[in-house]
Amino acid sequence: MSDLNLTLRQVWYINKAFVRNPASLFFTLIFPLMFLVIFTVIFGNGHVQVAPGQTVRVATFYVPAIAAFSAINACYTNIAISLSFARDSGALKRIHGSPLPVWSYMAARIVHAVLIAILLVVICAAFGALLYGATLPTDTLPAFVLTLLVGAAAFSALGVAVTAVIPNADASPAIVNGTILPLLFISDVFIPLQNPAPWLDLLGKIFPVRHFADALIGSFFQVSGSGLHTNDLLVMGAWGVAGLVVGIRFFQWEPKV
């Protein structure tokens, strides 16, 4: 059997394990929708500026914002935590010693995460269209899809890389959430920032979360042009390459002592 077929079979196996885990299925698929409802209830139906001279309803703004959160949750959070638990249980050690190529296993993990991210974005978009009357992108849809794929791949690589600093599985939720939650609050995901302090704006632009959110939101609401945010894509790509390099160099298959 070719390495490609092995990778596809591994994707199928990971998906079966994912579906058979009700807790993981619930928090991955339903949790973002809960945030979407909660934020729209809290912040009401006011308007927020998404571009110079362009405002949209808060409920509509949160559709692509929570879509970005969904993709990050599926690709970064879930990969980092699940790999940490698999490493501590010895599953990664056994996989590393099996005939399955290690790159096939990691590629299957990332491909499955990207597919789940795409599914989550479709669910968020459909939910927003049905309940909040959000208009889905048409002319800028290729840019939106490209942004989603680049962001999902970058955060998947970062999810693998962050396992290098996770000492054990019990610590993984705290470390993973501690590295991502603060960025979600300063990156136009959980809260649409209006005229933030310069230092806070600069801090948000250093990390890929802000660029992912800006690119998704921009391509979702842009009324003319391609909707492609090249600079944001380049920053996300750079972070993804850095995560890939760190993951290849420091990823461990055996439990840490």
pLDDT the model gives residue 53: 66
pLDDT the model gives residue 227: 78
User: Which DSSP symbol is given to 140?
Assistant: T
pLDDT the model gives residue 175: 93
Please, are residues 84 and 169 in contact by the beta-carbon 8 Å criterion? yes
Q: Which residues contact 32 (CB under 8 A, 6 or more apart)?
A: 66, 67, 69, 70, 73, 120, 124
Rounded Cα gap, residues 70 and 180, in angstroms: 12
pLDDT the model gives residue 224: 66
pLDDT the model gives residue 83: 92
pLDDT the model gives residue 101: 87
pLDDT the model gives residue 76: 93
Say whether 85 sits in a helix, a strand or coil: helix
Helix (H) or strand (E) holding 47: strand 47-51
pLDDT the model gives residue 257: 67
Which residues of the chain are under the pLDDT cut of 70? 1, 44-45, 49-54, 223-224, 257
> Among all chains, which residue has been given the structure tokens 């079966």?
16
Domain spans of the chain?
A: 3-250
